[in-house]
Amino acid sequence: MSERRLLILYGSQTGYAKDTAYRIARQAWRRHFSVSVQSMDQVDKWSIFTTTYPVIFVCSTTGQGEEPDNMKKFWRFILRKTIPYDALSGLKYAVFGLGDSSYQKFNFPAKRLSRRLQQLGGTPIVDRGDGDDQHYLGLDGALDPWLENLWAVLLDRYPLPKPIVPESVAPDPSCDIDYIDEHIDTSVGKTELIPGTHLAQLVKSDRMTAPDHFQDVHLFEFELDDSTQIPQWSPGDCAVLRPENLDSDVNDFLQQMHWTEHADKLLQIKPRDESIIPKWIPRCTTLRWLFTNYFDIM
């Protein structure tokens, strides 16, 4: 029997493609595949030429039909003219794109990626999937049937060694959390900035549309913490903002979960896979910080 392994690579700007990649990974785990999930720019690009197991690509669309930031290096790499036309003749792959059909360049990154992989000799396992925000079920409208088809093909090639793990069984945790000595020198609240990230304060928010207009369009004005590092932006660029939950909402949530007494204790996050936890989340923090700055509790 062939090795039951899958590699899932994602290109994600705001997190949706990454979430989709891990959703696919959980379904693969339930079907007893060994799975690795990485962003396209994380993976050893040369390994794509020698991979003997299927690779699933998940990518979103940003700006005016552009590829996400953590896919750009990989994309430039496979566009090299020096790569032989049959370099990926041993690659079995699947591509799923996330986009919005109301835009002219709907799912362009996924379409271009799929076409380029085929140009280099790759063999698609299933037809490309095109997730569409405009579907009445959202992205799931295309993702669910695409996954059903994907698993049917893969399980025909890699038969189940035992029954599928039921949804009631939770996968292994992606990280370990330990409470630590409060006297240890820590970096609580300090985050590692991702390249291209800028710290700023919101100083103005003016509504630009009439009060009775159905669209609530605002003009936001930010003040950079470091005025010497002015971003070089172009028309169509996306600004990813990270808001905070209200203190009152966080307090209510912690109280509801009976976690109030532990909310401000220092804890250390030990990811089993470094790609799981975003770089800007400090490895030493508190429950209160996490539920204020990271988790969606509404």
Give the pLDDT confidence of 67-83 residue by residue, as tens digits: 998 999 999 999 999 99
Q: What confidence score (pLDDT) does residue 186 get?
A: 47
Could you write out the three-class secondary structure of the chain?
CCCCEEEEEEECCCCHHHHHHHHHHHHHHHCCCEEEEEECCCCCHHHHHCCCCCEEEEEECECCCECCHHHHHHHHHHCCCCCCCCCCCCCEEEEEEEECCCCCCCCHHHHHHHHHHHHCCCEECCCCEEEECCCCCCCHHHHHHHHHHHHHHHHHHCCCCCCCCCCCCCCCCCEEEEECCCCCCCCCCCCCCCCCCCCEEEEEEEECCCCCCCCCCEEEEEEECCCCCCCCCCCCCCCCCCCCCCHHHHHHHHHHCCCHHHCCCCEEEEECCCCCCCCCCCCEECHHHHHHHCCCCC
- The answer, yes or no, to whether residue 295 has pLDDT greater than 70, is yes
Q: What is the pLDDT of residue 129?
A: 96
pLDDT greater than 60 at residue 192: no
* Statement: residue 194 has pLDDT above 70: no
183 or 146, which is more confident: 146
Cβ(292)–Cβ(202) below 8 Å: no
The average confidence (pLDDT) of the chain is 87
pLDDT greater than 70 at residue 193: no
Percentage with pLDDT > 90 across the chain: 54
Residues sharing a CB contact under 8 Å with residue 132, sequence separation 6 or more, in sequence order: 99, 100, 101, 106, 107, 139, 141, 142
Question: Of 12-26, 129-143, 259-273, which gets the smallest average pLDDT?
Answer: 259-273
pLDDT for 122 beyond 50: yes
Q: For residue range 132-179, list pLDDT tens digits in order.
A: 999 999 889 999 999 999 999 999 999 999 999 998 898 888 888 888
Calpha distance 97→114 (Å, rounded)? 10
Is a pLDDT exceeding 80 seen at residue 112?
yes
Higher per-residue confidence, 214 vs 35: 35
Question: Rounded mean pLDDT of 195-209?
Answer: 83
Which of the given ranges, 87-96, 170-179, 272-281, has the highest pLDDT on average?
Answer: 87-96
pTM above 0.85, yes or no: no
pLDDT band (50, 70, 90) for residue 238: low
Short-list 59, 60, 56, 12, CA closest to 31: 56
- Which tens digit of pLDDT belongs to each residue from 49-65? 999 999 999 999 988 88
Which pLDDT does position 1 carry in this prediction? Answer: 44
